[in-house]
Structure 1
Amino acid sequence: MDWVERMAELRQWSRGGVRAPHKPLLLLYALGRFQEDADGELAYSAVEEDLRRLLAEYGPPRPTTPAYPFHHLVGDGVWEVRSDRGPGSPGTGVRELRATNAAGRLAPELRTALRREPSLLGRMARVLLDANFPPSLHEELCEAVGLEAAPAEAERLAAARRQRDRRMREKVLTAYEYRCAFCGYDGRIDAVPVGLEAAHVRWWAFDGPDDVDNGLCLCSLHHRLFDKGVLGVGEGHRVLVSQRFVGHGPAARAQVTELSGRPLTGPQPGAAPVAASHRAWHTAQVFRGDPRPARAASSPG
């Protein structure tokens, strides 16, 4: 059985660009726990809050529950659940899982394969990360689930895997004249740009193309906040800032809240701005909550 291929197939239930990374998040968490204790079970009542936090931080902006993947992942053949009622999930509800002392773990065949071939775990984790999350979140997500960093070079899946355009970064940074589209940062060390990255608006994992009209040149901070749903791009190519963001210090105000309503810096004339369809996807699938009202312009003294 090709377990790496099985990980990639978990995407098939996420249709129409809708983000639903419930199963991948539970699997990443389970792989991390497997590294700690290959024979241990995950009691739902003990891991519910961990899963809830993961879904809140890395899941879709709409409300969700950790009971969903705990129950439904059984049908993918990689996860098993038992409870006081015996083998199998007792139901989809939080109360049912708690009341019956439900516990889950990786399927027996998968546990056997991981023991036999330790490198398989890293390859599986890499596929789950690549297929469901942008690269800017991979390292911190591994840390969040207690997973040792997956190897950078994973076993390539066959023709089903798209190839990235390695020119994407250079094309996007050139279009935005090597300035962060949100704050204008344009730092260099000698002649080399530093701290500037090409962000996909519609994530590559969700069929976002490697085109300039799906990219933004962002500094490292704003790239991370953009991928976490703190920042977005609204009508008129103006910066959106989530009302859920809280930052009281002057740095948080200057770097985040005061960006609300600010027009993007760039792209240069002749370069394609962010396409409306990609902006709409990010607003629906990544941006969290409602945007803050635009900061009012100071009246002349």
Structure 2
Amino acid sequence: MDWAERAAELRQWSRGGVRAPHKPLLLLYALGRFQEDTDGELAYSAVEEDLKRLLAEYGPPRPTTPAYPFHHLVGDGVWEVRSDRGDGSPGTGVRELRATHAAGRLVPELRVALRREPSLLGRMARVLLDANFPPSLHGELCEAVGLELEPAEATRLTAVRRQRDRRMRELVLTAYEHRCAFCGYDGRIGSVPVGLEAAHVRWWAFDGPDDVDNGLCLCALHHKLFDKGVLGVGDQHRILVSQRFVGHGGAARAQVTELSGRPLLGPQPGTAPVAAPHRAWHLTQVFQGDPRPAAAAW
């Protein structure tokens, strides 16, 4: 099997669209570290905090531990672990991994393949990103794990991906009359919208359809905050703001906290609003914590 295809087929706990990106995040992190040191091992005690931060920022809203992927990724044939007890992971617990000085790295065959074919690393990274995260997070996630990808490495594996509907962006922007559904931004250069994007409510990577009722027209800022779980859409299609968001400046209040409780702007009459199942998926799998009280009566 091609290594990129193997990355696309990591075994993840999944039921009803639940996000479980633990293994992809660890593998992305390992690929980033491989770029720095092709032979180095990752001692669990040394990388635990890095993995915690990745899981907290890009993982599911529910609590999780970096010990889980460190142990379980071994079963996918791309990762190996050694400890004071010898080859193999000593267990799934944080204490076991620390106490036995467990360390992991990419399996020898994969390291050889990555040295022989440098473009493989980029292909694997792109597959992992596409299969588990929305495009709005790809760039910052690469920075977070230390990955440097060349533009030529954006090649996608059509054999393991369904095709996107390229018409979705225009259909969603038209439905929302080319303005951000959260703040009303409607900037243009001439007749061309600038800074407006079609956001998937249920992520495309998790079977979110390229349909208008799974889309929102959002400015670049609010698209990013929506995909990071700072913003959500609740009952009566009102905007939700996470209590975990902290911003004291006037811009943070105006652009984020004061949105709480406002109704979405759009879509225009005759167009389907965001479907309830897609809103529910986003609230359980992406939105961070509990929503703030409405900022004002609307």
Aligned residue identity for 2:157? R
1:153 shift after superposition: 3.3
Number of the residue aligned with 2:83: 83
Number of the residue aligned with 1:154: 155
Q: Say if 1:155 and 1:234 are closer, same or farther in 2 by CA, change over 3 A.
A: closer
Number of the residue aligned with 2:171: 171
CA contact (8 A) 2:12 2:23 kept: no
1:150 shift after superposition: 5.5
Aligned residue identity for 2:227? D
1:296 shift after superposition: 2.8
Which blocks of at least 5 consecutive residues in structure 2 are unaligned? none
Separation in structure 1 between the aligned mates of residue 121 and residue 258 of structure 2, nearest angstrom: 43
| Aligned pairs for 1:152-301 within 5 A | 153-158=154-159, 160-297=160-297
SS of the residue corresponding to residue 10 of structure 1 reads coil
CA contact (8 A) 1:82 1:104 kept: yes
Separation in structure 2 between the aligned mates of residue 9 and residue 15 of structure 1, nearest angstrom: 16
Separation in structure 2 between the aligned mates of residue 7 and residue 15 of structure 1, nearest angstrom: 20
1:149 shift after superposition: 2.5
Aligned residue identity for 1:143? E
CA contact (8 A) 2:202 2:282 kept: yes
Moved over 4 A (4+): none
Aligned residue identity for 1:175? A
Q: Say if 1:150 and 1:201 are closer, same or farther in 2 by CA, change over 3 A.
A: farther
CA contact (8 A) 1:179 1:186 kept: yes
RMSD over aligned Cα, in angstroms? 1.2
CA contact (8 A) 2:18 2:285 kept: yes
CA contact (8 A) 1:178 1:217 kept: yes
Q: Does 1:69 pair with 2:69?
A: yes
Number of the residue aligned with 1:3: 3
1:209 shift after superposition: 0.2
SS of the residue corresponding to residue 218 of structure 1 reads strand
Separation in structure 1 between the aligned mates of residue 163 and residue 11 of structure 2, nearest angstrom: 17
1:190 shift after superposition: 1.7
Q: CA deviation digits over 1:154-212, x for unaligned, max 9?
A: 14231x42100000100000000001000011011122110100000000000000000
Number of the residue aligned with 2:143: 143
CA contact (8 A) 1:74 1:81 kept: yes
1:297 shift after superposition: 3.1
Which blocks of at least 5 consecutive residues in structure 1 are unaligned? none
CA contact (8 A) 1:126 1:150 kept: no
1:294 shift after superposition: 0.7
Number of the residue aligned with 2:18: 18
Q: CA deviation digits over 1:199-247, x for unaligned, max 9?
A: 0000000000000000000000000000000000000000000000000
Q: Say if 1:132 and 1:187 are closer, same or farther in 2 by CA, change over 3 A.
A: same
1:59 shift after superposition: 0.3
How many residues align structurally?
297
Number of the residue aligned with 1:101: 101
- Normalising to structure 2: TM-score of the pair? 0.97
Q: Say if 1:242 and 1:24 are closer, same or farther in 2 by CA, change over 3 A.
A: same
1:16 shift after superposition: 1.9
Separation in structure 1 between the aligned mates of residue 6 and residue 15 of structure 2, nearest angstrom: 17
Aligned residue identity for 1:174? T
CA contact (8 A) 1:80 1:105 kept: yes
